[in-house]
């Protein structure tokens, strides 16, 4: 694997996994998402990964118009790299999921690299009361949910977004997703440097044991050599442990309330910035330097914020 001089911190500020009832600190409105993103960037995050929410119900909203208000604020007030989801919600079609990135042409878009079970229902063991009537069925429905990302879907996203010079955060939840990515590299639809986000701890994907982390890294090293940049996302309680493990090997890290609502056992994180500051403390404690947004742009060979459509 290519070794970077500086570590890129990504922050996923809201997402579609957690619901508003789970934490009062989860940003929902456009202003809340903008403020959370800017604070995370000021704390040290170079990349901000974004979903949108209905400001009244908190339900995931994948209309481009829902993204524009906070994107404009973030761009005006920070140098953050914007990474728009094409995952959206597992309940959406691929055409719905890719619309924000297709219309708004960000520097980076996330891309889930394989069809999978996506089990959110274990959260019902912790959360019993919900503010909105959609939340409990949303979680219960994941018992029979297949998160569709077929080869046709992946080819569609790669073809339709690459013409805008948008690059990708390839989210790989298991070993097969790395092989799927290698398939598209072989076909010439993916160009280096490849930004791979290995995801640990989602039911339906690989687990959170250190052996799982090493297995994904070894596989990526073998398939992609020096052509990829490695990052890790640990869901829930594994967030900081996996970040520390990967960073010690030169990997980049992702934190944020999309993936984990907590800052310590039994203590909710009060903001995305709090998680960024915590992981930054871990990284700097290891003697590692943090990449600025412009340094991350150079590492990932991005087109620059002047070429987005917001």
How does DSSP classify residue 53? B
What is the Cα 5 distance to its own chain's centre? 22
Helix axes 210-224, 239-247, angle to 10 degrees: 50
Q: Which CATH architecture has domain 6-307?
A: Alpha-Beta Barrel (3.20)
Q: How far apart are CA 13 and CA 28, in angstroms?
A: 10
CA distance 274 to 264: 11
Residue 95 has what pLDDT? 93
Tens of pLDDT along the chain (310 residues)? 677 889 999 999 999 999 999 999 999 999 999 999 999 999 999 999 999 999 999 999 999 999 999 999 999 999 999 999 999 988 899 999 999 999 999 999 999 999 999 999 999 999 999 999 999 999 999 999 999 999 999 999 999 999 999 999 999 999 999 999 999 999 999 999 999 999 999 999 999 999 999 999 999 999 999 999 999 999 999 999 999 999 999 999 999 999 999 999 999 999 999 999 999 999 999 999 999 999 999 999 999 999 999 9
In this predicted structure, what is the pLDDT of residue 1? 64
């Amino acid at each position: 694997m290519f070794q970077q001089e500086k570590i890129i911190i990504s922050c996923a500020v809201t997402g579609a996994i957690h619901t508003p009832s789970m934490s009062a600190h989860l940003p929902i409105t456009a202003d809340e998402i903008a403020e959370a993103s800017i604070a995370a960037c000021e704390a040290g995050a170079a990349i901000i990964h974004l979903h949108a929410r209905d400001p009244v119900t908190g339900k995931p909203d994948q209309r481009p118009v829902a993204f524009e208000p906070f994107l404009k604020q973030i761009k005006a007030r920070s140098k953050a790299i914007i990474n728009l989801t094409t995952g959206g919600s597992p309940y959406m079609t691929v055409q719905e999921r890719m619309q924000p990135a297709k219309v708004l042409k960000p520097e980076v878009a996330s891309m889930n690299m394989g069809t999978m079970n996506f089990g959110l229902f274990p959260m019902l063991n912790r959360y019993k009361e919900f503010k909105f009537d959609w939340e409990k069925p949303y979680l219960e429905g994941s018992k029979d949910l297949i998160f569709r990302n077929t080869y046709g879907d992946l080819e569609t996203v790669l073809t339709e977004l690459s013409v805008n010079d948008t690059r990708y955060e390839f989210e790989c939840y298991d070993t097969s997703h790395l092989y799927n990515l290698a398939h598209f590299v072989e076909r010439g639809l993916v160009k280096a440097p490849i930004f791979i986000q290995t995801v640990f701890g989602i039911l339906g994907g690989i687990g959170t044991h250190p052996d799982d982390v090493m297995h994904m890294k070894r596989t990526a090293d073998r398939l992609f050599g020096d052509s990829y940049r490695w990052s890790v996302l640990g869901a829930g309680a594994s967030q900081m442990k996996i970040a520390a493990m990967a960073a010690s090997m030169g990997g980049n890290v992702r934190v944020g309330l999309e993936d984990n609502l907590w800052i310590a056992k039994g203590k909710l994180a009060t903001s995305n910035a709090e998680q960024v500051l915590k992981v930054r403390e871990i990284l700097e404690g290891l003697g590692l330097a943090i990449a600025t947004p412009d340094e991350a742009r150079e590492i990932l060979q991005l087109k620059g914020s002047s070429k987005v459509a917001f």
